[in-house]
Amino acid sequence: MTAPDQVPADPARATAAPEGEGSSRWSWVPIRSLGPRHRDRIAAHLLSLEETDRYLRFGYPATDAQISRYVDTLDFDQDEVFGIFNRRLELIAMAHLAHPNTPAEGARGTMAEFGVSVMRKVRGRGFGARLFEHSVLHARNRGVQTLFIHALSENTAMLKIARNAGATVERDGSESDAWLRLPPDTFVSHVEEMMGEQAAEFDYQIKRHASHVQLILDTISEVKAHISKTHHVAGE
């Protein structure tokens, strides 16, 4: 277990708290790749997690300073970070797919580690499972042979997602490891990922445009209110 005063050695360590994946309704969810310009949104998302959720996500109750260091050290060239935004462009769920710096060894072949977090207010919608599916597709299309998850044994929601996907889960006291062997990529898997990314980008731009329009409308409303108040005071 990582010491409380350290940033986790494994960047994608652990997962979010239980979110009732079994009760979710399965429909398309826009999942977008994140980059360096999203660091502030990523930090805001992780800092919004409650103490229990931080414990399950990182393996210890991470402080604000530790989370900030984690976000600062994200390597978007080496790893992949995916996110789900709401209509206000708030990052409500995110996944980190970490690729090792060392060459793959052993029967498991090339590996990547998966970690996920979901805001408490949107639990039960299957976002964690959808991010897992998206990461699996992305990983297999890049030659990853095994997806690895390291989680606390009490994180039953994440372990259930792994088991449902066919992963082998090995428990060692308070911690568990899950290994999911990925099928090779196909033409269909690449087309599926490309279409999903394009649709998610289109969805994001629509939300971004709507957010700008709403900001303009709010500003106009404030100006009108100020003018009305000024006229009222002048007429007294």
Segment 55-67, tens digit of pLDDT: 999 988 899 999 9
Residue the block writes with tokens 């499972």: 129
DSSP for residue 96 = E
DSSP per-residue codes, 28-84 = ----EE--GGGHHHHHHHHHTS-HHHHHHHHSS---HHHHHHHHHT--TTTSEEEEE
Per-residue pLDDT, averaged over 211-229, amounts to: 64
Beta-bridge partners for 116: 95
pLDDT at residue 200, rounded to an integer: 80
Q: Is-contact 174 181, C-beta < 8 A? A: no
- Angle, nearest 10°, between helix axes 187-234 and 127-140? 140
Residue bearing the bigger pLDDT, 228 or 9: 228
Per-residue pLDDT, averaged over 96-110, amounts to: 76
Whether residue 178 is predicted with pLDDT greater than 60 in this model: the reply is: yes
pLDDT digits (tens, 9 = 90+) for 9-57: 444 544 544 444 444 445 778 999 999 999 999 999 999 999 999 999 9
pLDDT digits (tens, 9 = 90+) for 131-151: 999 999 999 999 999 999 999
Contacts of 78 (CB under 8 A, 6+ apart): 98, 99, 101
Q: What is the C-alpha separation between 69 and 3, in angstroms, rounded?
A: 15
